[in-house]
Amino acid sequence: MSLFVSFISGAIFSVGLVISGMINPNKVIGFLNIFEQWDYSLALVMGGAVAFNLIAFKLIKRIQTPLLGEKFHWPTKNDIDRKLIFGAGLFGIGWGIIGICPGPGVVNLLLFDHKVIAFILSMLFAMASYKFIAKKLE
Amino acid sequence: MQDIALPLIGGMIIGLATSIMLAFNGKITGISGIISQSLEMPKAKNYWRYMFLAGLLAGGTFMLYFSPQYFFYSLNFSLYEAIAAGLFVGVGAVLGSGCTSGHGVCGLARLSGRSFAATLIFMGMAIVTVFIRGLL
């Protein structure tokens, strides 16, 4: 049942991504390009999502356990460490190059474009490589 | 009107999706984490991740079929830019423990200091990157 909910969550997420226009990298770049014809769409998307969640998460936190799971899996780290700063920095650079991040990247695979496939494969390669190296260095 | 309503509603639908995941499964929807954790030998504890990713594709397919106009845009970048972007996004998301869904949509709503910092940093760097790319 919870697997089904995961599927539904993913489906609703991508419907939201599509309707919001965020799968279109030109709209993302248009937002990040603050010095030219500014496309404020992304601000509204993020605003809508965060506003919704500010209320929803607060309500959800009132229940002791999730409806189908054993416990809530809250993130454990609380400090702003170097990894977070560097990671966010690198992520930002990557995002700024073509205006695609993981979620929209996956949905854009539906275009069957070789450049999108290359982005995803390159992202997967980088993720796997970093995880492998990080583990070896421990 | 359309260009205010659609992003706003789309955003709220994204919020709804993450709230459903939290309420039922108790998990934060960080897509980069969902993807990176899936990069191991298939195992039961990752099934929910595979299902989420399948859902992303299913929802997208649904929209592509019923409202294809949302997919009418061109990809104005080169293959090399796509590869470079993928490398940065891949390392950055894993190192930084999240992306726009995990830190942005969920983290900010949780009032997480880490996510505020991460979001400010990746937004800032993305803006700088777009600016520099525009000069080249």
**CB distance from B37 to chain A under 8 Å?**
no
Q: What is the DSSP string of chain A?
A: -HHHHHHHHHHHHHHHHHHHTTT-HHHHHHHH-TTSS--THHHHHHHHHHHHHHHHHHHHTTSSS-SSSSS-B-----S--HHHHHHHHHHHHHHHHHS--HHHHHHHGGG--HHHHHHHHHHHHHHHHHHHHHHHT-
Per-residue confidence (pLDDT) for residue A80, from 0 to 100? 95
CB atoms within 10 A of CB B68: 9
Best of A15, A33, A85, A109 to substitute, by most chain B Cβ atoms within 10 angstroms, is A15
- What is the chain A residue with the closest CA to B85? A94
Closest-CA distance, B12 to chain A, in angstroms, reads 4
Is residue A6 scored above 90 in pLDDT? yes
Mean pLDDT to the nearest integer, A27-38: 96
- What's the pLDDT tens digit per position in B35-55? 999 999 888 999 999 999 999
- What's the pLDDT tens digit per position in A77-91? 999 999 999 999 999
Is residue A131 scored above 90 in pLDDT? yes
Q: A112: which residues sit within 8 A by CB, 6+ positions away?
A: none
Residue B66, sorted as left (phi over 0), alpha (psi -120 to 50) or beta, turns out to be alpha
Per-residue confidence (pLDDT) for residue B2, from 0 to 100? 79
Per-residue confidence (pLDDT) for residue A138, from 0 to 100? 80
Mean pLDDT to the nearest integer, A105-113: 98
Let me know: does B30 contact B22? Beta carbons within 8 Å.
no
Asked if A113's CB is within 8 angstroms of B101's CB, the reply is no
Asked if B59's CB is within 8 angstroms of A10's CB, the reply is yes
- What's the pLDDT tens digit per position in B21-33? 999 999 999 999 9
pLDDT beneath 50: ranges in chain B: none
